[in-house]
Amino acid sequence: MKNYNQDSSYYQVKLQDHIDSSFPERSGDIKFIEQRARWAANAYDGAFRSGNHINKCNEIADYILYEGLHFSRFDTLFEVLTYEFSDVFDELDFRDFALKIIPNCAEIFGHYELTDDFAYTTDYDLLYTELTGFIAIWIEQNGIR
């Protein structure tokens, strides 16, 4: 039987990429990334040793790797900016502005239970609307720079 073992460095790179794109505010949390990568590698190894198919091993490891990292505040802000404020920003400015404003949106996000599947709830529409209003007021009072 061929060994298809994945080491934690594979998962570390995979998770770092996900965090850099969807959770940039957590990009520097190396301890979290390394720990989660070790857990995913161990889960993969355990699933493989138990005789699971490679696809199932990957599914189990990914579940561990990305748990709690499906709904992204940053991605939500980025979506609001690109859909609602495309006439205000250059395409390259969306990311920078989202990073700038995300700490100011903490109170709005705090009104919701942000689970992994939050984007598929009716509360997501309310959050989206609140963020749109907040950003419009922010830009009016502070500008985009």
Predicted local distance difference test score (pLDDT) of residue 1: 40
Predicted local distance difference test score (pLDDT) of residue 130: 97
Helical (H) or strand (E) element with 49: helix 30-49
**Which CATH code for domain 73-142?**
1.10.8.340
Q: Is the pLDDT of residue 2 over 70?
A: no
Q: What is the pTM of this model?
A: 0.81
Alpha-carbon distances, residue 25 vs 52, 53, 88, 141 (angstroms)? 35, 35, 24, 24
CATH number assigned to the domain with residue range 4-66, chosen from the 4 options 1.10.8.330, 3.40.50.10140, 3.40.50.2020, 3.40.50.150: 1.10.8.330
Rg from Cα positions in the chain: 19
Domains of the chain, residue spans: 4-66, 73-142
Fold match, 4-66 / 73-142: yes
Q: Tell me which of 88 and 144 has the higher pLDDT.
A: 88
d(CA 51, CA 93): 48
Q: Tell me which of 27 and 3 has the higher pLDDT.
A: 27
Tens of pLDDT, residue by residue over 55-108, are 999 999 999 999 999 999 999 999 999 999 988 877 668 888 999 999 999 999
Which amino acid is present at 123? D
